[in-house]
Amino acid sequence: MKTVYNLIIKDLIRLKNDKPALLLSFIVPMALIIIFGNIFGGGGPRGRVAMILVNESNSPVAKLIESKLDTVKSLYVIKTFLSDDRKDTFKIDEQKAIELIKSGKSSAAALIMPKDFFTDTSTALKFKFYFDPKNDIESALIQGTIQQTIMSHAPRLFPVLITRQSLKFIGQDSTAKFISGFGKLIGEFFNVPIDSVIKSMTIVDSASLYSTSLNTASSANVISNLVKFENEQLVGKEVQNPGLTRTVGGWAIMFLLFSLTGAATSLFEEKQEGTLKRLLCMPVSRAHILWSKYIYSMLFGIFQLLVLFFFSWIIFNVEMFSNFLNLLIMITVSAAAAVSFGMLITSFAKSMNQAAGISTLFILTMSAVGGSWFPTSLLPDWMQTISKVTLTYWSVDGFLQVLWRQAPFSAIALNVLVLLTISLLINLYALVRFNNNKTL
C-alpha cells in the first residue's frame, strides 16, 4: 500500500512539473466551459444578437411590438445608420435594410413591419423578415425571440385576430354567434363579465394591449396563422452546400493554426536532436533558419488549405473556384498569420512540450472566441470585443466573405490588412525575442 502511495505521489510530482498536461487538463476545459456556457447556458452576461428593425406602420400594435423588442435582452435592435462621413444618422428603411444585410456588416437579419402591418381589416400581423443565413442559430434565435415577444406582450391581440379571421371565413352571423358563445364560455369558465370578454374580442385598444394578464398558452400553430412572416433569404441562395460553406473557413483556420504551430515549434525538436546546433556550425545563419522555417510553414499551410478546400469541393460541393483568386489571397494571409503565431509561441516557450501546451490553449480559445466553431454574434459583448483581436476572427470572417458571400476583394481588404498587420507585428516581436533569449 505504501509503495502504491509513493508511486501516486511520484505521478503527482511529475504532473506538477508538466505544465502542458496541467493546461490541457484544467485550463483549456475551463476556458471552453466559460465560452460555451455563455452562449448556450443561462447565467453570466448573455450575448446579444443584432437585428435591424424597420417600423413603417402607424399602428399602435406595431409601436407596442417595437417598444417591447427594444427591451428584449437578447436582441440588439438597430434602427439607424451613420452616414459615410459619420456625421449624421439616418433611419433605416426597408431598402437600406436589405442593402445592409447583403453587405454583411451590421446584422444578419432585419424585421420589417410594413405599412400594412396591421390595418382595420388585417386578420394577421404581417412581418417581413430578411436574413442572411450565414448561421442558422442566429436566425432561429431572432425569429424565436420575436414570436415570444409578441406572444407574451400582446395576448389581447389574438382574440381580435381570431374574430377577424372567423368573420372572413365563416361570415358575420356565424361570427356573432361564435363570439357570444365563446364569450359566454370564457366568462363562465373564468368567472368574468361576459360583456367585457366580448368587447375585448372585437375592439382593439392599444392601452389594453399592454395587459399581459391573459393566459398565453396558445399553440404555436394558431400563432403562426396569426403572425405572418414573409421570409426572404438575401444571401447565399445559390450556394450548393450552405452548411459546410459557412463553417469550412472556421475549421480550416483552426487546423492551420495547429499544423503551422507544430511546424514552427519543430525548432525545438531540432534543438534537442542537436541538428540545430550542427546547422549553425555550418555555413548557415540564424536568419537562414528562421526564414526557412517561415517559408516552409507558409507553403505547407497554403498547400494544406488548398487540399482542404479542394476536398470540400469534391465531396461536399463547397464552391472554391468561382472566387478563387480572393480565396487564395485569404489562404495566403491566413497562413502568414498562423505561421507568425507559431513563431511567437516558439520564441516564448522553453521546450517542445511547453510550446504544445501553450499553443493548444491559445488555439482552442481563439477558435472558440474568434468564430471557428460558432458565430461570434452569439457571444457576450465583451467577448465579441476580445474576438476582434484574434487572428481567427479576421480569417473566419474573410473566408465567409469569399466563400459564402462570393464577395469581391474590396470586401476582404480590411481582413487582409488586419491579418498582414498582425503577422508583421508578431513576427517583429518574435524576432526580437529570438535575438534576446537565444531560443535558437
CB of 297 to another protein, least distance (A): 18
CB of 344 to another protein, least distance (A): 24
Sole window of 173-181, 194-202, 273-281, 360-368 interacting with another protein (rule: CB under 8 A): 273-281
Q: How far is CA 291 from CA 71, 276, 296, 299, in A?
A: 55, 14, 8, 12
Site for another protein contains 322 (CB under 8 A): no
Q: What does residue 153 show for φ and ψ, rounded to 5 degrees?
A: -110, -15
Single out the residue of 173, 282, 410, 436 in contact with another protein (rule: CB under 8 A).
Answer: 282
Site for another protein contains 285 (CB under 8 A): yes
Q: Which residues pair with 125 in a beta bridge?
A: 227
Single out the residue of 278, 291, 413, 428 in contact with another protein (rule: CB under 8 A).
Answer: 278
Single out the residue of 280, 302, 420, 431 in contact with another protein (rule: CB under 8 A).
Answer: 280
What are the residues whose beta carbons fall under 8 Å from the beta carbon of 175, sequence distance 6 or more?
163, 166, 167
Sole window of 91-99, 219-227, 234-242, 278-286 interacting with another protein (rule: CB under 8 A): 278-286
CB of 287 to another protein, least distance (A): 9
CB 154 within 8 A of CB 64: yes
Nearest to 61 by CA among 132, 162, 186, 149: 149
Single out the residue of 219, 281, 410, 436 in contact with another protein (rule: CB under 8 A).
Answer: 281
Single out the residue of 273, 314, 317, 325 in contact with another protein (rule: CB under 8 A).
Answer: 273
What is the strand order of the sheet 49-55 is part of? 75-78, 49-55, 109-113, 125-131, 227-233
Single out the residue of 277, 316, 414, 432 in contact with another protein (rule: CB under 8 A).
Answer: 277
Single out the residue of 279, 302, 328, 420 in contact with another protein (rule: CB under 8 A).
Answer: 279
Sole window of 54-62, 199-207, 272-280, 354-362 interacting with another protein (rule: CB under 8 A): 272-280
Number of residues that bind another protein (CB under 8 A): 13
Site for another protein contains 207 (CB under 8 A): no
Q: Which residues pair with 80 in a beta bridge?
A: 91
CB of 270 to another protein, least distance (A): 8
CB of 24 to another protein, least distance (A): 25
The grid cell for 26 is 484544467
Site residues for another protein, 35-94, by CB under 8 A, read none
CB 151 within 8 A of CB 218: yes
CA gyration radius, the chain: 29
> What sign has the CA pseudo-torsion 302, 307, 308, 312?
positive
CB of 280 to another protein, least distance (A): 5
Site for another protein contains 350 (CB under 8 A): no
Sole window of 47-55, 212-220, 275-283, 418-426 interacting with another protein (rule: CB under 8 A): 275-283
Single out the residue of 4, 83, 274, 436 in contact with another protein (rule: CB under 8 A).
Answer: 274
Nearest to 49 by CA among 411, 415, 375, 391: 375
CB of 385 to another protein, least distance (A): 42
Alpha helices in 18-122 (DSSP H): 19-22, 28-40, 60-71, 94-103
Q: How far is CA 199 from CA 89, 91, 218, 257, in A?
A: 43, 37, 20, 66
Residue 11 to residue 17: CA distance in whole angstroms? 10
Sole window of 243-251, 281-289, 354-362, 392-400 interacting with another protein (rule: CB under 8 A): 281-289
CB of 266 to another protein, least distance (A): 11
Site for another protein contains 289 (CB under 8 A): no
Q: Which is nearer to another protein, 43 or 283 (CB)?
A: 283
Q: Which is nearer to another protein, 170 or 284 (CB)?
A: 284
CB 54 within 8 A of CB 77: no
| DSSP secondary structure letters along 175-229 | HHHHHHHHHHHHHHHHT--HHHHHHHHH---HHHHT---S-----HHHHHHHEEE
Alpha helices in 274-323 (DSSP H): 275-280, 286-316
Q: Which is nearer to another protein, 277 or 350 (CB)?
A: 277
List of residues contacting another protein (CB under 8 A): 273-275, 277-286
